[in-house]
Amino acid sequence: MTRVERAAKPAVIEQNQVAWTQALLDAATKEDKKRAEKKYRHLEIKRALVSMFHGKCAYCESKILHVDYGHIEHFRPKSKPEFRSLAFEWRNLLLSCAVCNGPEHKGDRFPEADEGGPLINPCEDFPEEHFEFAFDFQARLASVVGTTARGKTTATLLGLNRQDLRAYRSRRVMQLCVLSRCAENDPDARALLEEACHDDAEYAAFARTLVVGHICDQGLQENDR
């Protein structure tokens, strides 16, 4: 997870939020509620989120759009009565992958402070204050380690070290580490490493920690001994 600065509120929310929210709160039947609720899926809102998150999941930093449409995620779940009025609140919307937002992980969950929450929000918090992006050179595993109670809750609940995600991410991080060996003498390798640290790069939090901190070089040397 990496910090994302929230973009300006889309005009369609500015113009309709009050009416949409009232219609949702007034909905008497299940069908009315469904009809009122789906306004958040407006194309303008989706486009703004895709642009803001560079097509990456707000939580796991995986690129989404080449394999899926991506979910408009309600940080405070709209299904909980106390958060229903936030269904069209711009600050409550994120882009997420189907797995992080799925029933096995975040789903409708929102742990409160006495349950180890609230979850880390990349637009409200600074993720690096709550997580370590660690790479075990021997095991070749790139893990998100919670360093605060909220960080630990978030990593566990969202499954930020789930098997498939960690395996894929670990390969990417290992490739970056090997690339860093060539970077001193190869401008193309150096450019690729710099790209990996950009906001729009997959797993940029790892790249910044490992590549910029020269941890790859040290780790590979130790591994070679």
Question: What residues make contact with Zn ion under the rule CB under 5 A?
Answer: 57, 59-60, 97, 100
Half-sphere exposure for 44 (CA within 13 Å, toward CB)? 12
Q: Pick between residue 20 and residue 203 the one whose CB is nearest to Zn ion.
A: 203
Q: Pick between residue 100 and residue 177 the one whose CB is nearest to Zn ion.
A: 100
Amino acid identity for residue 217 in this structure: D
Q: Pick between residue 71 and residue 150 the one whose CB is nearest to Zn ion.
A: 71
24's tokens:
């949702």
Nearest distance from C-beta of residue 101 to Zn ion, angstroms: 7
For 188-203, give one letter per residue: b (16+ CB within 10 A) or e. ebeebbeebbeeebbb
Nearest distance from C-beta of residue 224 to Zn ion, angstroms: 34
Nearest distance from C-beta of residue 5 to Zn ion, angstroms: 19
Nearest distance from C-beta of residue 96 to Zn ion, angstroms: 5
Q: Pick between residue 57 and residue 193 the one whose CB is nearest to Zn ion.
A: 57
State phi, psi for 211 to the nearest 5 degrees: -80, -50
Nearest distance from C-beta of residue 12 to Zn ion, angstroms: 25
Count of H-run helices and E-run strands, the chain = 8, 4
Q: Pick between residue 21 and residue 96 the one whose CB is nearest to Zn ion.
A: 96
Q: Pick between residue 39 and residue 169 the one whose CB is nearest to Zn ion.
A: 169
- Within 10 A of 74 (CB to CB), how many other CB atoms are there? 24
Distance CA 165, CA 190 (A): 26
Comparing C-alpha atoms, which of 72, 88, 76 is closest to residue 13? Answer: 88
CA distances from 149 to 75, 113, 119, 146 (A): 18, 9, 10, 7
Does residue 91 contact residue 121 with C-beta atoms inside 8 Å? Answer: no
Nearest distance from C-beta of residue 38 to Zn ion, angstroms: 22
